Structures are given as structure tokens and as C-alpha cells.
Structure 1
Amino acid sequence: EKLLRLADLERRAQGGRVLLREDVAEVVGLEPAQSEKLLAAARATESAAAALGKVFQSGGGPGDLEKAALLAARERELKLPGDLLSKEQQKEWRRLAGAPFDTVTLDRIYPMAPELAPSATWINSKPLSLADLRGKVVILHFYAFECVNCQRNLPIYAEWQRKYADKGVVVIGIQSPETDRERQPEAVITAAKEAGIDYPVQFDGDSATWKAWGNTMWPTVYVIDQQGYLRVWWQGELNWQGAKGDEVISKAVEKLLGGTADQAPPPATQRQPGPAAAPNLPAQR
């Protein structure tokens, strides 16, 4: 019974995109034309999100048009099942989703931070691992030294290093390359010195750490607690167009140092995989 309820919750969490699953489409009785329209709407949303991400990465402006396009695509995708499905199909879809569940009543579960991939080149430090930093709060950021958005975050990282280094916090930079020059260790070292970076930096020349973390954007900042769990992250510039990303990160760090943050569960020796957030979209041909 519990496994059946878990399956219900998984389908409910996946929202309208659960209809892209072959097993769900079969039970609901979707026609091929309906499935094609649902898939096209999902792809349009993903395409709009990717376009906005490129604007953020390039520093090419506020991206107002791209934001509006993404909001419109999301709205169309959310509205489509109600317009497309028959009453019987909608009834079956609701049945598969099960009864509503108030997730606010659940305790927060934090994911364990992935380990850093081995690297022969470290700046300002011997090679580090997150396992060796248990007991400390870690602020870890991915950057590429020629990325304008990354450069704008650097003074904030430096301030965190100055403010928290003596309080049990370690700031780590992961230089994952985007351009050919960023793949040259000497260029990375020179750029770090010119930027005044004095905290540990891993040269992630083959993007192994980037891939292990599933990172998708330069810059991205993560806060890892004393037990190695991911608590907070921020993608993009911390102060982009008046954003308060630096305050979000600082407050998370202060809570962890003060012992007022939600307590993460003790590390487990073995964890069972949880339900997927949403099914992957089929590859386009």
C-alpha cells in the first residue's frame, strides 16, 4: 500500500509532464496526436528556458523578452492538458495522481553534496575533498574566469573569505572551462592571481567535477553544511538586477554557524533512490 501511495505522489509531483510517460499515456488513453502536442509544449518550455540561460551566461542584457517568452511557454504547457484531454481522460489522470498531499508537513530532506573529482592542479591549496572538510561549512562556486557574470561575483566571494575564514567556513572555487583559454592551467592560475583570489581553487580542466555535480550554469554557488549536505544554491549573478543572492547565501551560512538551521539527518551508509521530479523528454530527431 505504501509503495502504491509513493507511486501516486511521484505522478502528482511530475504534474502535466507525467502524461509524457508511456505507461501513464496508455492508462489515460492518450491519442498519438495528443501526446505530440503535449511533447511539443514541453519542448517549447525547455527551449525558452535555455534561451534565457544563454542570456544570463553571456551577460547580454536583462533578458526581458526571454523571460516573457518563458512565462508564456510555461503557461501554455500548464493549460494544455485541461484543453486537450477529454473528461474521461482527465478523470483517469486525477485517479493516477491520487489524493492531494500537504508536503509542508514533511521534514526537509537535504541531498548529499557530490564529491570533487580528482584534479592535479589546485591553486592556493593542496588537493581537497569534501570528505576532509566535514565539520566545516563550505561555500563552493563554479566559475569560468572569462565569464563576465562570474567576474562580477568574485568580490562577494572574497568578502565571504575575509568574513568567515576564521569561523569554520571554507570557500572553494571550481574553475570549469567554457573557452579554450580557460582550459589552460597557466592562464587559470594567472587570472586567479590577477583577480586577487586567495582561497582554494580547483582547476576542473576536463569538467569532471562540473559533470559530477550536474552543474548547468556559470556562475553557480552552493552552501554545504557541516555534515556534507547541500543546503542552498544560487545560479547566476548574485546581485543580477537587484537580486539579493549574496544575502540568501550569507543568511544560510550564518544559520549553520549559529546552529539555528534545520537539522539534516545523520549520513546514511546506503540510500534508496527517490522518485524522479519529472520524466526526461524524448530526444528530438
Structure 2
Amino acid sequence: MASVRSPCSSHASSHDAFWTYTCVNWLRTLPYLRAWHATYAGAGLSIVGVHTPEFGFERVLGNVTEQTAKLGIEYPVAVDSEYAVWQSFDNHFWPAVYRAPDAAPTWQPTAQASSATRTRIS
């Protein structure tokens, strides 16, 4: 992987990352999020994954928990199966990364949209 630039400034920063474990575009983004977390968590960067399913089987908490572990995601993940968080951000794509507190998109490629029970699984 290429070198990773700091996504945060000299103060604490939070990024919310919308994802679903079968999205190929998100799978290509994951190495960068893991690297940001590993490199900058100690400097105040906080990443929160928001798993919002595209398909029915992605709504199953056991599947999300299994895939989160299998993919080596160590930052917290909220399960958003009813799309409450997705809608509060007015999100339309997977993957999408937002910087809090301003909720301005920091990165948002193309993808499809579709619904949020919040459950922390990591």
C-alpha cells in the first residue's frame, strides 16, 4: 500500500464510514481505513464504521459480526440495518466517509442505496 497521509489535523478528529461487507468498492477502501486507524488512533483519530446493508443477509447481526472479525476491523462498528444513521447523514452511496462534527463528506465514490438498528459489535 502507498504511504498514508494523516486524515486528521493537530486536534482530535472523527470519521464515520458507511459500508456493507459485500461492496467491492468498500473492500478496496478498507485497507486505507485500517491503516488510518492503526497509525493515527493514538493521535486522536476516531473511525466509526456504520454497517448499512444492501442485501437481506447483510442484516443478520451474526453475519456482520463474523465478517467484521474476518476482515480485521478493529475500530467500532454500528449496525444500521434500518437506515436511521444513513438517513440522518442523507447518505446515498457505499462506501462513504464523513468527517464529524461537520458531517461534510470527505470521500464518497459511486454505489447503490437502499435502510438502522444501532448495535456496537467491535
Interval containing the TM-score (normalised by the shorter chain): 0.7 to 0.9
What code does the residue aligned with 2:14 have? V
Deviation at 1:187, TM superposition (A): 0.2
User: 1:155 is matched with which residue?
Assistant: 31
Alignment of 1:43-122 (within 5 A): none
Change (3 A) 1:232 1:180: closer
1:186 maps to which of 62, 76, 85 = 62
What code does the residue aligned with 2:34 have? A
Alpha-carbon distance in structure 1 between the residues aligned to 2:54 and 2:105:
24
Q: Runs of 4 or more off by more than 3 Å in structure 1?
A: none
1:229 maps to which of 102, 105, 109 = 102
1:197 maps to which of 68, 73, 78 = 73
1:142 maps to which of 18, 22, 42 = 18
User: 1:206 is matched with which residue?
Assistant: 82
SS at match of 2:82: coil
SS at match of 2:92: coil
State the identity %.
32
| Gap regions ≥5 residues in structure 2 | 1-10, 111-122
Deviation at 1:138, TM superposition (A): 0.4
1:167 maps to which of 43, 59, 76 = 43
**Greater CA radius of gyration, 1 or 2?**
1
Bigger strand share: 2
What code does the residue aligned with 1:235 have? Q
Alpha-carbon distance in structure 1 between the residues aligned to 2:50 and 2:105:
17
Deviation at 1:231, TM superposition (A): 4.6
What code does the residue aligned with 1:175 have? H
Alpha-carbon distance in structure 2 between the residues aligned to 1:231 and 1:174:
16
Alpha-carbon distance in structure 2 between the residues aligned to 1:182 and 1:231:
27
SS at match of 2:54: coil
Alpha-carbon distance in structure 2 between the residues aligned to 1:164 and 1:146:
26
SS at match of 2:91: coil
Alignment of 1:233-248 (within 5 A): 233-236=106-109
| Gap regions ≥5 residues in structure 1 | 1-134, 238-285
Query: Deviations for 1:256-283, whole angstroms, at most 9, x for unmatched residues?
Result: xxxxxxxxxxxxxxxxxxxxxxxxxxxx
TM-score, scaled relative to structure 1: 0.34
The number of equivalent residue pairs is 100
SS at match of 2:53: coil
Deviation at 1:136, TM superposition (A): 3.0
Deviation at 1:153, TM superposition (A): 0.6
Bigger helix share: 1
Deviation at 1:223, TM superposition (A): 1.5
Alpha-carbon distance in structure 1 between the residues aligned to 2:104 and 2:94:
19
TM-score, scaled relative to structure 2: 0.77
SS at match of 2:94: coil
